[in-house]
Amino acid sequence: MTSSDHDIEKKAEVVVAPAGETLAPYETSNGAIVEEIQPLKRALKGRHMQMIAIGGAIGAGLFVGTGGALASGGPGALLIGYLIVGFMLLLTIQALGELAVLYPVNGAFFQYCVRFIDPAWGFAVGWDYAIGWLIILPFEITAAGITIEFWRQDINIGVWVAVFLFVLSFIQIFGVRGYGEVEFVLSLIKVTALLGFIILGIVIDCGGAPKGEYIGARYWHDPGAFTTFKGFCSVFVTAAFAFGGTEMSGLAAAEAANPAKSIPKATKQVFWRITVFYVLGTFIVGLIVPSNADYLMNASGAHTAFSPFVKSIQDAGIVGLPSVMNAVITISVISVANSATFGSSRTIQALASQGMAPKFMAYIDKAGRPLWCIVLQIAFGFLAFINEASSGSTVFNWLLALSGISNFFIWGSICFAHIRFRQAWKYNGRDVKELAFTAPFGVIGSWVGLGLNVLCLIAEFYVSVAPKDIQNFFENYLALPLVIALYLIWKIYSIFSQDATVNHRGWKLIYSVDEIDVLSDMRDTALDVDLEPRKEYATWGEWLKAAPVRVVRSIF
């Protein structure tokens, strides 16, 4: 889109007004409606961003869901599946980091899809992501209550649901700083516990446990490293659920005190999170837990009685530590529930600011909290009480199906948005060297990431249709018709709407490169304090020689 096109087009703009000033909509000379809203508080420090990146989304998916994946695919499939999804996610987060540093806007990847792909696809991705977190909150609250049954089975789970819902509501009083501090502490506990489990797992595998004997790679031979091809494919969706939320560091960019410094460091640490906690952690689990163990067939949801992390310690005869690991899982589940509240509320607020959600949802109070969005998320938390009904589990399974494969749509969209951005950046005569942070694998990495997301969707489609059970298909693949429906809703609305602020694009699938605006809403360079100059290497040899230095910097 040329500059003259921008001059004559009527479009909605959102202007962030300083806290305390009078806020009111007004009309510009070209007829555009401008709505001023309170700004989100930039209260997340570097340490918050780093811990969110390292351990923010580690929860029941890893601690319990890994057991079901191990039973379905075997230890070899588990390791390969987590490696593939981990590599795909690493490419995605690096691409997201590049965009988030340049455009630290609320809503992050939803905004990037609207801006670089198409408003209808951005609407679909944004609402799919928000709905996913809205549903995951009651699931995680229920999961937290279930973990308590490890110690007390005589107390109704509804009591714990009420307790955890109150705790999460209380945290929201403190806004983004409360979210950041809680995630920092809880993530630190999770990271420490996982490192301890990896060391303990090596000891158990070598026969150092009280009831143990040398195991080595025995379970890779008997019952075997792999089960069936269908079992191998089923690992991908479990891995996606376990990795879900890793993109939260990009979503938090709008509330980071210094996004140009903290986001690159946070995205680099995702590599260590994937390598150490997911890949190495699941590899250790595959060594010390046989894939044909009876309890693994029930390792879904968050019942820690079936967690391979807890059961492997119990079977080794170690007293006390199973309770410690169960407590860590409880903390992890609460942490993910806290992230769910942050993820959905910020996404819905961004949707509302774009006119894609009810306008009152765009409201941000003087403390920087998207108040009505938080109220909506907490209200969804009460769905956790559905489990008290006799048909509660059936209802809950269908609700969770809405977010079953949504991560693949989200991550694939991030990669494609980055590809489109780079195309438009080049078209506008800009150079990659101008960017404060660039994705190490560039556009090629985003193409690979997009391709891997598509392959994972195909693998899950195969798993869903293999039983020839229509209910099984929709329980696994309900997110696909949801995304298509959301896309069509906005396309149809934008075609027939009389609202001048709506971008009337007809049935065009994506922006042409000349229509993409890459210059507005760029970061405030005044925030780029203490940034080291980008280092360029003339040859691969120089790059390899500097590798140890880069590793140390990425950790610290």
Higher pLDDT, 54 or 33: 54
The average pLDDT across 219-223 equals 92
| pLDDT, mean of residues 517-521 | 84
For 60-72, write each residue's pLDDT tens digit.
778 888 888 898 8
pLDDT at 34: 39
Between 536 and 288, the higher pLDDT residue: 288
Question: What is the mean predicted confidence (pLDDT) over 76-101?
Answer: 91
Give residue 392's pLDDT band: very low, low, confident or very high (50, 70, 90). Answer: low
What pLDDT score does 55 carry? 64
Give tens-digit pLDDT for 474-498: 878 888 889 999 999 999 988 887 6
What percent of the chain clears pLDDT 90, i.e. is strictly above it?
A: 23
**Strand, coil or helix: 27:** strand
pLDDT digits (tens, 9 = 90+) for 30-50: 333 334 455 666 656 667 666
| Residue predicted with more confidence, 103 or 28 | 103
Domains in the chain with CATH codes: 1-37 (no CATH), 42-494 (1.20.1740.10)
Interior/surface letters 190-205, b for 16+ CB within 10 angstroms, e for the rest: bbebbeebbebbeebb
pLDDT score for 524: 61
Using the predicted structure, report yes or no on whether residue 53 has a pLDDT greater than 60: yes
Q: Choose among 528, 542, 370, 481: nearest CA to 124.
A: 481
Q: Contact at 8 Å (CB) between 183 and 48? A: yes
CA atoms in the 13 A half-sphere facing the CB of 392: 13
Q: What is the pLDDT of residues 242-300, one digit of tens each?
A: 888 778 777 766 666 677 777 777 777 778 778 888 889 999 999 999 998 887 866 55
Tell me if 139 sits within 8 A of 403, measured CB to CB: no
Q: Which residues contact 58 (CB under 8 A, 6 or more apart)?
A: 187, 190, 191, 194, 273, 277, 332, 335, 336
Query: In 3-state terms, what secondary structure has residue 33?
Result: strand
pLDDT of residue 20: 35
Joined together, the tokens standing for residue 420 give 């489109």
pLDDT band for 2, please (50, 70, 90 cuts).
very low
Q: What is the mean pLDDT of residues 403-425?
A: 91
What average pLDDT does this structure show over 310-315? 88
pLDDT in tens, 161-206: 899 899 888 888 887 777 778 888 888 888 889 999 999 999 999 9
pLDDT exceeds cutoff 70 at 345: yes
Residue 346 pLDDT > 50, yes or no? yes
pLDDT for residue 33: 39
φ, ψ at 13 (rounded to 5°): -125, 150
Mean predicted confidence (pLDDT) in 407-427 = 94
- Per-residue pLDDT averaged across 452-456, rounded? 94
Which has the higher per-residue pLDDT, 360 or 302?
Answer: 360
Q: How confident is the model at residue 455 (pLDDT cuts 50, 70, 90)?
A: very high
**Reported pTM:** 0.84
What mean pLDDT, rounded, does the chain reach?
80
Question: Sorting pLDDT into bands at 50, 70 and 90, what band is 547?
Answer: low
Three-state SS string over 235-270 comes to: HHHHHHHHHCCCCHHHHHHHHECCHHHHHHHHHHHH
Mean of pLDDT values over 418-422: 96
**Residues in CB range of 552: below 8 A, 6 or more apart:** none
Across the range 343-348, mean pLDDT stands at 86
* 274 close to 94: Cβ distance less than 8 angstroms: no
pLDDT (tens digit per residue) in 3-26:
333 333 333 344 444 333 334 443
Q: pLDDT confidence of 343, banded at 50, 70, 90?
A: confident
pLDDT band at 419 (very low <50, low <70, confident <90, very high): very high
Pick the closest to residue 135 from 147, 143, 145 (CA basis). 143
pLDDT at residue 370 in the model: 85
